[in-house]
Amino acid sequence: MVTVRSESNLKNATMNHDPFAWGRPDDNVYGKYNQSIAQAKNNELDAFPKMHTQQPIITGTSVLGIKYKNGIIMAADNIGSYGSLLRFSNIERIIKVGSETVVGVSGDISDFQQLERILEELVISEENYDNQGENNLRAPHVHEYLTRVLYNRRNKMNPLWNSIIVGGFDNDKTPFLKYIDLLGVTYGSSTLATGFGSYLAIPLLRKLIPDDKDYSNIEEEDAKKVIQECMRVLFYRDARSGEKFTLVTVNDEGVKFEKDVEVTGQSWEFAKNLVGYGSKQL
């Protein structure tokens, strides 16, 4: 059976012209469309907003890195914060990857642990095919790999919420220090810091090494001293920082981890002069 209708009637009567329901059968003609058929959803209010959005939960604060003439030094404290609550005080955020590379991670701790697993897998697969028994996985390779991981995750709008510093040696055995963040942005410098450190520590580090190439004149002890100074300044002013930190040195003798290093030489003299909310001096 075919019912013939006039064309104009067909055009006007059967289609919904509402811009948000364009082309749908008109409710007035066909009755309200049953949205539950085949899980069809029209009204966006029906659906819970799609969860891709995220924010870091437990976080680690700044990581610092500096080159010196024989290698690099990296430092990060051991705090894991839950918002403004200093929730954990035993988080180790600098890890060794391969035999001469270290990776320091700030930002979300669970994403850091995911990265730790990814890097562990990388090291194992590296050993699988390593017939010569030589270790070819060096800092630039780890850095490039992490860049790909983070950039691919940002492309999926599902980032690993971290800023990372990779330290070690370049292919030509010179010190290597480079940064990666959750967007996949990378850069290298003789002095690097993530998070709060990029405001508080970088100026102090750059005072020691004003020009990138000058790292080759810097002694280990001088580099270490300025890193310790930075950790102290960060402890004063970064509310999410801790008093204990890990200091890692990578040089031709290998990778040396110094754990539970404490911020030294603190002076709270000024504190007694602080009254009220302002910076008014008595």
Partner 1 sequence: MFRNNYDNDSVTYSPTGRLFQVEYALEAIKQGSAAVGLASKTHVVLVGLKRNAEELGSYQKKLIKIDDHMGVALAGLAPDARVLSNFLRKQAMNSKMVFNRPLSVSKAVYSIADKAQQNTQSYGSRPYGVGLLVSGYDDTGAHLYEFQPSGSVLEYYGASIGARSQAARTYLERNLEKIRDCETPEELIVHGLNALRDTLSQDVELTFKNTSVSIVGKDTKFTTYDDEDVQQWLDKLDSVTNSTHRDEDDDEEAGDNAEDQDVTEDRMETDE
Partner 2 sequence: MNSTVASEYSSEIHTTPIEHRFNPYSDNGGTVLGIAGKDFAVLAGDTRQVEGYSINSRYEQKIFNVGDDIVMTANGFAADGSALIDRFRNQLKWYKFDHNNKKLSVASSARYIRHLLYSKRFFPYYVSTLIAGLDDEGKGCVYSFDPVGSYEREQCRAGGAAASLIMPFLDNQVNFKNQYQPGSDGTEKKPLRYLELDEVLELVKDAFSSATERHIQVGDGLEIFIVTKEGVRTEYYPLKRD
Choose which of 1, 6, 7, 19 interacts with partner 2 (CB under 8 A): 19
Choose which of 118, 157, 239, 274 interacts with partner 2 (CB under 8 A): 157
Q: Which entry of partner 2, partner 1, none binds 134, CB below 5 to 8 A by partner kind?
A: partner 1
Question: If binding is defined by CB under 8 A, does position 151 make contact with partner 2?
Answer: yes
Q: Which stretch binds partner 1 (CB under 8 A): 71-79, 100-108, 129-137, 199-207?
A: 129-137
In this structure, are residues 159 and 112 in contact, taking their beta carbons and an 8 Å threshold?
Answer: no
What is the SS3 assignment for 66? strand
> What's the rounded Cα separation, in Å, for the pair 235 and 248?
18
Beta pairing class for 175-181 and 63-68: unpaired
Q: How many other CB atoms are there within 10 angstroms of residue 269's CB atom?
A: 7
Q: Which entry of partner 1, partner 2, none binds 224, CB below 5 to 8 A by partner kind?
A: none
Choose which of 70, 88, 114, 184 interacts with partner 2 (CB under 8 A): 184
Question: If binding is defined by CB under 8 A, does position 185 make contact with partner 2?
Answer: yes
Burial class (CB in 10 A: 0-12, 13-18, 19+), 188: middle
Conformation bin of residue 171: beta by default, left when phi > 0, alpha when psi is -120 to 50: alpha
**Nearest CB to partner 1, comparing residues 148 and 256:** 148
The DSSP secondary-structure symbol of 50 reads P
Known catalytic residues are 53
Q: Which entry of partner 1, partner 2, none binds 136, CB below 5 to 8 A by partner kind?
A: partner 1
> What's the rounded Cα separation, in Å, for the pair 92 and 77?
8
Residues that bind partner 2 (CB under 8 A): 9, 12-13, 16-21, 26, 28-29, 43-45, 49, 52-55, 151, 154-155, 157, 159, 179, 183-189, 198-199, 202, 211-212
